[in-house]
């Protein structure tokens, strides 16, 4: 370990169970000497095992529904009291689509569900940053990171309305990043992560195929949740102070590949089989 976050304080949203990207990140931040408050929605607290992570990392938990500004205000105030000062890093690792959960197709959305999912997955990033900004809760050269997926730029049919949520999230990262950079010297980035077997990931229809396809496409293979945690550490550290307003692909190279040899081979096998049976 490199002590990259020694003396740094932060808030980590979205650790639900040991597979969560936020869970792996909390473990790595702890190893690198950072201190933090863990938070999740009151409902997730009942479902998950956050207390176990809190004990392992000597951290406290404050419940907050990320769609409620009053919850965010309470969280940000209390976190600074607990940690003893302003924040250096914040991780937004939150996503949820009711349409995906209810198996509503993209061309048959229930708009109440769409709004709920957008509020949780996308607008919440704005609510979080606006609250941090107004409370002047970030130290200079602090770092805010949220997680995205390449369906924000390219069509992955079963990613459903989460694709639109991620496009919005990335845009908020850029726009708020401008003001946070200019006024407070704080950086804001989104990481566009490989498909990862977590509770949120497994909820997407055809996830197994998704993950195998990108594994075959990416020259370095899929990035795991642990790999993602390592990358987040670099963005929280002082080594990336001038990186801001970016959507950073963390996907083993997937996003720059048109087609890979491994994927092409699956078609040549298919063609051989189909010509043999003709």
Q: Which residues inside 93-152 make contact with ligand NAI, applying CB under 6 A?
A: 93-96, 120, 147-149
Q: Count Cα neighbours of 242 within 13 Å in the Cβ-side half-sphere.
A: 0
Minimum Å gap between C-beta 186 and ligand NAI is: 20
User: What is the pattern of x (binds ligand NAI, CB under 6 A) and - over residues 156-195?
Assistant: -------------------------------------x-x
Is 62 labeled as ligand-binding?
no
Count the neighbouring beta carbons within 10 Å of the beta carbon of residue 243.
Answer: 14
Q: Which of 2, 106, 111, 149 is catalytic?
A: 149
Minimum Å gap between C-beta 13 and ligand NAI is: 6
Count the neighbouring beta carbons within 10 Å of the beta carbon of residue 109.
Answer: 19
In this complex, which beta carbon is closest to ligand NAI, that of residue 37 or of residue 139?
37
**Only segment of 3-11, 52-60, 92-100, 212-220 that touches ligand NAI (CB under 6 A):** 92-100
Q: Does 198 bind ligand NAI (CB under 6 A)?
A: yes
User: Nearest 5°: phi and psi at 195?
Assistant: -55, 135
Torsion of Cα atoms, 238 then 241 then 243 then 249, to 10°: 10
Rg of the chain (C-alpha set): 19
Count the neighbouring beta carbons within 10 Å of the beta carbon of residue 212.
Answer: 13
CA–CA distance, 102 with 156 (Å, rounded to integer): 18
CA–CA distance, 127 with 133 (Å, rounded to integer): 10
Query: Alpha carbon of 121 to those of 114, 162, 243: distances in Å?
Result: 10, 8, 23
Residue whose C-alpha is closest to residue 123's, from 185, 167, 189? 167
Q: Which of 159, 168, 231, 270 is catalytic?
A: 159
Is 65 labeled as ligand-binding?
yes
In this complex, which beta carbon is closest to ligand NAI, that of residue 95 or of residue 173?
95
Residues contacting residue 122 through CB under 8 Å, at least 6 positions apart: 165, 166, 168, 169, 172
Minimum Å gap between C-beta 108 and ligand NAI is: 22
Q: Does 252 bind ligand NAI (CB under 6 A)?
A: no
Asked if 231 is an active-site residue, the reply is no
Q: Does 196 bind ligand NAI (CB under 6 A)?
A: yes
In this complex, which beta carbon is closest to ligand NAI, that of residue 148 or of residue 244?
148
In this complex, which beta carbon is closest to ligand NAI, that of residue 10 or of residue 14?
14
Asked if 133 is an active-site residue, the reply is no
| End-to-end Cα distance, the chain | 59
Count the neighbouring beta carbons within 10 Å of the beta carbon of residue 277.
Answer: 6
Q: Return the active site residues.
A: 149, 159
Using CB under 6 A as the criterion, which residues of the chain lie in contact with ligand NAI when the complex forms?
14, 16, 20-22, 40-41, 44, 65-67, 93-96, 120, 147-149, 193, 195-196, 198-201
Binding site feature residues for NAD(+): 14, 20-21, 65-66, 94, 166
């Amino acid at each position: 370990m490199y002590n990259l976050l020694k003396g740094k304080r932060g808030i980590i949203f979205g650790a639900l169970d040991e597979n969560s990207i936020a869970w792996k990140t909390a473990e790595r931040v702890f190893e690198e000497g950072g201190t933090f408050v863990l938070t999740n929605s009151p409902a997730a607290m009942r479902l998950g095992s956050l207390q176990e992570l809190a004990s392992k990392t000597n951290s406290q938990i404050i419940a907050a529904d990320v769609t409620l500004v009053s919850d965010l205000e309470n969280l940000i105030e209390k976190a600074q009291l607990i940690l003893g000062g302003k924040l250096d890093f914040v991780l937004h690792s939150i996503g949820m689509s009711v349409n995906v959960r209810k198996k509503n197709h993209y061309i048959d959305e229930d708009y109440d569900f769409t709004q709920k999912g957008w509020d949780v997955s996308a607008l919440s990033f704005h609510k979080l940053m606006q609250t941090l900004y107004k409370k002047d809760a970030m130290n200079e050269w602090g770092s805010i990171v949220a997680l995205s997926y390449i369906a924000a730029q390219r069509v992955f049919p079963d990613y459903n309305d989460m694709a639109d949520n991620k496009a919005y999230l990335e845009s908020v990262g850029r726009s708020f990043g401008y003001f946070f950079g200019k006024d407070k010297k704080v950086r804001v980035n989104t990481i566009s992560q490989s498909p990862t077997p977590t509770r949120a990931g497994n909820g997407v229809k055809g996830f197994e195929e998704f993950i195998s396809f990108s594994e075959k496409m990416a020259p370095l293979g899929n990035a795991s949740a642990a790999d993602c945690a390592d990358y987040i550490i670099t963005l929280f550290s002082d080594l990336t102070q001038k990186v801001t307003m970016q959507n950073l692909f963390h996907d083993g190279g997937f996003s720059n590949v048109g087609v890979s040899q491994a994927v092409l081979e699956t078609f040549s096998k298919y063609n051989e089989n189909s010509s043999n049976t003709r």
